[in-house]
Chain A
Amino acid sequence: MDSTDHQSSSLTTYLAVYVVILVISGLQILIAYENIDAYRIFIRMLLLAIIQAGLAVTFFMHMRSEKRTLALFLLPAAVFVLAMMNMIWSDSFRLLNMRPFAH
């Protein structure tokens, strides 16, 4: 009954994704040592990590061979929750400016 019997990608595809993921990890290390402000480092790290995650989900976890409705069911909901929990970042900056326990 499993409609995904054909879902194995070739070993070459897996190896290519594997190498790309490791190269991106190396890039993240280079970015970490760059002399730019923390916010820009953070955004670049986040974008690269999302690309790595996308590759892992698509190829390693075979999402590209699954029915589109499965991806539509799982991923937008997860992304929505992850995005929404970041709604209160303004409070973090408020705490930074208030510095309630500053010596």
Chain B
Amino acid sequence: MSEAHLTVSHSPDMETQEAPAFSISHKKLVMWLFIISDAITFGALLFAYGYLRNATPDWPRPFEAPSVINAYVMTFILVTSSLTMLIAIRAARAGDKSRAMTWSFITVVGGLIFALLHIKEWLGLIGEGLRLFSNPWGSNLFGAAFFSITGLHLTHVVGGCIAITVVTLGYKRGRYNHEDLEIWGLYWHFVDLVWMFVVPFVYLLNIKH
């Protein structure tokens, strides 16, 4: 994939190539800009949740040990999938296509296992009576806060699984190169990073004492 050319005049000998900003490709810069904007989105959601929680005397604290263990297992799976993505990118940089693809697909499997554990947890909570705007434990705001934050994160995980699968298959065909894998690796690490904030604020601060 070549860098864009910025032609100052139409005369071929005056053609100028603009240096890429920050010495990274536009694709990578765009992904970083997206990551920053998405980080702010999650920050806003978490702040709104914190603001409401602080102002609500009867905020429910429903999570017991099994939920906490489940959250840690999910953290372990997601962080491990970040590691496997790094291994995939290292292999891609070294030109080892089949190893890169294997580790890339392992990353996707990790993401899917995370998603399944998350949905299983949701179903358990729904079975206990948690809804978007009601629950048997306390303030009605809890459900909306919980499902919106974890739901948005889950959407990012599933979206990332799809994207990494598409890019890995394209990489196999030669449409994408190691840099494209690396760019989606950035996205995947970001998704992991958001989870590192979601767990303490949404789960651990709502442990039943």
Contacts and interface: CB of A to CB of B under 8 A. Distances in A.
Interface of A: 1-5, 8, 11, 14-15, 18, 21-22, 25-26, 28-29, 31-33, 38, 41-42, 45-46, 48-49, 52-53, 56-57, 60-61, 66-67, 69-70, 73-74, 77-78, 81-82, 85-86, 88-89, 91-93, 95-96, 99, 102
Interface in B22-63: 22-25, 32-33, 36, 39-40, 43-44, 47, 50-52, 54-57
B24 A66 contact: yes
Contacts of B75: 22, 25
B204 A99 contact: no
A85 B39 CA distance: 13
Contacts of B102: none
B14 interface: no
Interface stretch (B113-121, B128-136, B156-164, B195-203): B195-203
A33 B189 CA distance: 28
Contacts of A15: 83
Closest 6 pairs between A and B when the two form their complex, measured CB to CB: A95-B55, A45-B200, A32-B204, A3-B23, A70-B22, A92-B51
Interface stretch (B86-94, B104-112, B142-150, B165-173): B86-94
Instruction: Determine the main DSSP class of A at the interface with B.
Output: helix
Interface residues of B, number: 48
Given A3-B23, A56-B189, A66-B22, A33 B86 contact: no
16 contacts: A8-B90, A11-B90, A18-B83, A22-B79, A25-B75, A25-B79, A45-B201, A45-B204, A67-B23, A67-B24, A69-B22, A70-B24, A78-B39, A89-B54, A92-B50, A93-B54
Interface of B: 3, 20, 22-25, 32-33, 36, 39-40, 43-44, 47, 50-52, 54-57, 68, 72, 75-76, 79-80, 82-83, 86-87, 89-90, 93, 179, 186, 189-190, 192-193, 196-197, 199-201, 204-205, 207
Contacts of A25: 72, 75-76, 79, 196, 199
Given A56-B196, A96-B55, 9 more contacts: A11-B90, A21-B196, A32-B200, A46-B200, A61-B189, A66-B22, A67-B23, A92-B55, A96-B57
A99 B205 contact: no
A26 B87 contact: no
A88 B51 contact: yes
